[in-house]
Chain A
């Protein structure tokens, strides 16, 4: 089989491009530390979440301070709001600090996506979705449910306020 020299060149370039793609994804995982959402959050009884009898922080969801550089936000998603997050109860977290969101549903399938970030997970009844992130920039981020959850799905949203570390005081922590 005769292969023209030009064809040899662009076949080689195509292979190089594929190697490049794989290399960048490897860099994202190993170098930048991008992680996937897994089942590390564990399981929970959704009816207990609904009635507030889980015996966990989900009974009174809010922000828990693990230590100076790590806060955990417990969020219950239910038709059609995030508690905390929706309405007059935005999630307030400090910037440049590790923040873990533990989200679970009290009724049906929901979504938990923070706009303009890559924080995005399904919220499955019976499962605790766990995602950790660090916000570099202060400001207000939108919070949306992006899994159809019923007639009021389009109204289900909220906000995440990222405030400078210095302005974040422990009194805002609910637990």
Chain B
């Protein structure tokens, strides 16, 4: 029973897409299907609609070097010319659409000031990468969507969807129960540092919280669990400095931009002391506990194969016992067994050799032929490998 990775990803992406359908509005953050999971400088989609020309830097700082597009995700109006401008840093870059898309800047270019532009006419999400650095997270997306630059209505709707995809961030966090606590609409939200969890006072409570843009988030130290600090994972804005143990210490930060801000306590990161602040998104109550709960993984392939295998493995000892019992019961009949419990066996009589041969009188010709064949084979392979394959190619001669 195997669950193909591709199938799983597709199903998960479909699930995520379905999950956002209910709350989708024209202004909402597009669903990139995990495209930006490994892009360190992605921080929500920048709305540049209503402009004729939009510039994207190629080789901006990010992804542990100059391996980023800035802004990574940008929303423009149809008919906008998007100009990619090389910073000249991070070596050679190019801009290539992911899959069948229209972008293709050609070979790698490292020259500062090089540009490549493309005018997008039809609506959609256009994902692209820099080929040599895609593995580092040098990825971007252009979203073509009609609408003006002003985004007056529906501020509360902007931001991450109802069940944000944390990308496994909370896998080792014991006090995260799959729910993002909704605190939207409040001016100030408090998060306890050193709350019970992760086998001690090594947790943030609540670990995942959703706030409205402009909310001041106040981290308050409980004084338990030793020194803690609050530092953004990656390039984020949070940094409370050196670990502090004193109860009542506070550190606050006001989140203006929508997005998902993950953070850790550096000394206790390995214990699972991690959290996330989701800024923006659905208004209070829409998500709720039900939707927030962890979804069951969809299983592809015949279910009976998996359960059958598990059951078979479970009952194998019983089957073994039954076999042994059967073997016990098929012992030889009692009248064949001797007093001491053994069964007498009749041995065959030893046959006299037909002819006696001396040491040199027999020649193993067949064996000799086989050995000779092997020698010829090895010699031929050697000649071909050394003289043809090795010396026949351009060699290092100094």
- State the A residues within 8 Å of B (CB): 2, 4-6, 9-10, 13-14, 17, 20-21, 24-25, 28, 32-37, 78-81, 83, 86-89, 98, 100, 114, 116-120, 131-136, 150-156
Contacts and interface: CB of A to CB of B under 8 A. Distances in A.
A34 B391 contact: yes
20 contacts: A6-B364, A20-B379, A32-B391, A34-B395, A35-B397, A78-B91, A80-B91, A80-B132, A81-B108, A86-B132, A88-B109, A98-B398, A100-B398, A114-B394, A117-B393, A120-B396, A131-B396, A131-B398, A155-B133, A155-B135
A118 B396 contact: yes
A10 B386 CA distance: 23
A117 B92 CA distance: 26
Interface in B79-138: 91-92, 94, 106-110, 131-136
Contacts of A114: 394
The 9 nearest A-B residue pairs measured at CB: A87-B108, A88-B107, A132-B398, A117-B394, A151-B135, A152-B135, A118-B395, A87-B92, A87-B107
Contact of B396 (A14, A79, A87, A132): A132
B367 to A, nearest CB: 7
Nearest to A33: B397
Interface of B: 65, 91-92, 94, 106-110, 131-136, 359-360, 363-364, 367-368, 371-372, 375, 378-379, 382, 386-387, 390-391, 393-398
A136 B106 CA distance: 31
Contact of B375 (A2, A10, A78): A10
B131 A155 contact: yes
Nearest to A90: B107
Contacts of B397: 33-35, 132-134
A37 B396 contact: yes
Given A28-B391, A119-B394, A81 B134 contact: no
B379 A117 contact: no
Nearest to B398: A132
Nearest to B94: A87
B93 to A, nearest CB: 9
B382 A24 contact: yes
B391 A156 contact: no
B368 A6 contact: yes
A4 B398 contact: no
A33 B108 CA distance: 37
Nearest to A101: B396
Contacts of A150: 135-136
A169 to B, nearest CB: 23
A28 B390 contact: yes
A6 B363 CA distance: 8
Contacts of A153: 135
A119 B132 contact: no
A148 B236 CA distance: 30
B378 to A, nearest CB: 7
Contacts of A117: 393-395
Given A9-B368, A10-B371, A24-B387, 20 more contacts: A4-B359, A10-B372, A17-B375, A20-B379, A28-B390, A34-B390, A34-B397, A79-B136, A80-B133, A80-B135, A86-B108, A87-B107, A88-B106, A88-B107, A88-B109, A118-B393, A118-B394, A134-B397, A152-B135, A155-B132
